[in-house]
Amino acid sequence: MKTIIISKVVETSRVKKSAQPINALIVVDVQNCFINGNLSLSKSPAGQDGAEVIPIINNLIRTIPFDVIVYTQDWHPWNHISFFENLHFRRQYLAGDQNQTIKMFDKVTYLGPKYKMEQVLWPTHCIQETEDAALHKDLDVISSSSRVIHIRKGIDPDIDSYSAFADNYGVRKTELHDKLKERNVTQVFIAGLATDYCVTSTALDAFDLNYITYVVKDASRGVTLSTIKSQLKKLKQHGVHIITKNSVDLIGDILS
């Protein structure tokens, strides 16, 4: 017997692509840096505790037989464009007054060196090969198998990457879409950190790539209450389904 997670509310045209949906759980950035590290969510304006998602996600992994489980990680080089501490390397590329006062968490516009882009300036976080970038020790990480995918993102020093599918401007794609299609995945359930940034961006890209897409709200935590609210509204308007962990349990059908 196998539990197949089937939405009873999605559009008929999207369900028709597979009589038996292939389901993936995408666990977004459940890393030390966002839980007890330099960019701990508990210190952000919303004051949410990133560690609270771990038992909920673990329960999903243990009780729902997802066909595929994806673990993503921010994986930044030391000189990454998103780090406030690196602003002095790039001040010459700032739009406007290059001597303007800029604070951590401000959004700036860079005109180079490679791309023109807006960028939030975060504390240094998730540097490659550090304990800060590791998945949290309490997260259930399934041993390597054909149903497990690991995605590391944000590796280009000159562009940030919130989504697990691509960087913020679509310049560099990750392997995630190709790997999901290799496994014939049709539905994705997304949970993790942070709701208003990497979870939202991953969900929007997943929907645009024609996956039936769910965000598990109570298995996610965010940075700012106002942006969490606005991003969840944006996701709903886009066609992404916002559900809870209990909904994942309840919308399953038992098929032999």
Q: Which of 33, 160, 196, 198 is catalytic?
A: 198
- What pLDDT, on a 0 to 100 scale, did the predictor assign at position 145? 86
- What pLDDT, on a 0 to 100 scale, did the predictor assign at position 19? 67
Q: DSSP code of 133? A: G
Residue among 208, 162, 207, 210 at smallest CA distance from 184: 210
Q: Which of 67, 153, 205, 217 is catalytic?
A: 153
**For residue 256, is pLDDT > 60?**
no
Residue among 145, 149, 163, 141 at smallest CA distance from 57: 141
Q: What is the residue extent of each domain of the chain? A: 2-14+22-39+48-78+126-255, 84-121
Instruction: For the chain, give the mean pLDDT.
Output: 91
Scanning the chain, the segments in alpha helix (DSSP H) are: 12-15, 32-35, 53-63, 87-90, 176-182, 200-208, 225-238, 245-250
Q: Is 29 a catalytic residue?
A: yes
Q: Which of 29, 132, 160, 205 is catalytic?
A: 29
**For residue 12, is pLDDT > 50?**
no
Query: What separation in angstroms does the CA of 6 have from each of 65, 66, 142?
Result: 13, 12, 23
Average pLDDT, stretch 220-230? Answer: 98
Phi, psi torsion values for 113, nearest 5 degrees: -80, -25
pLDDT band at 20 (very low <50, low <70, confident <90, very high): confident
pLDDT tens, residue by residue, 110-125: 999 999 999 999 999 9
Residues 6+ apart with CB under 8 A from 78: 124, 127, 128
Q: DSSP code of 42? A: G
Task: Write the single-letter amino acid at 199.
Answer: V
Question: Which class is domain 2-14+22-39+48-78+126-255?
Answer: alpha beta
**Which H or E run includes 254?**
strand 252-255
pLDDT band at 99 (very low <50, low <70, confident <90, very high): confident
CA distance 241 to 248: 11
Three-state SS annotation for 49-114: CHHHHHHHHHHHHHHCCCCEEEEEEECECCCCCCEHHHHHHHHHHECCCCCCCCCCCCEEEECCCC
Query: What separation in angstroms does the CA of 82 have from each of 49, 124, 148, 168, 241?
Result: 22, 8, 29, 12, 30
Average pLDDT, stretch 81-102? Answer: 94
What number of other Cβ atoms are within 10 A of residue 187's Cβ?
Answer: 25
Average pLDDT, stretch 72-89? Answer: 97
Give the gyration radius of the chain's Cα atoms: 18
Query: Are residues 132 and 32 in contact, defined by beta-carbon separation less than 8 angstroms?
Result: yes
CA distance 139 to 134: 11
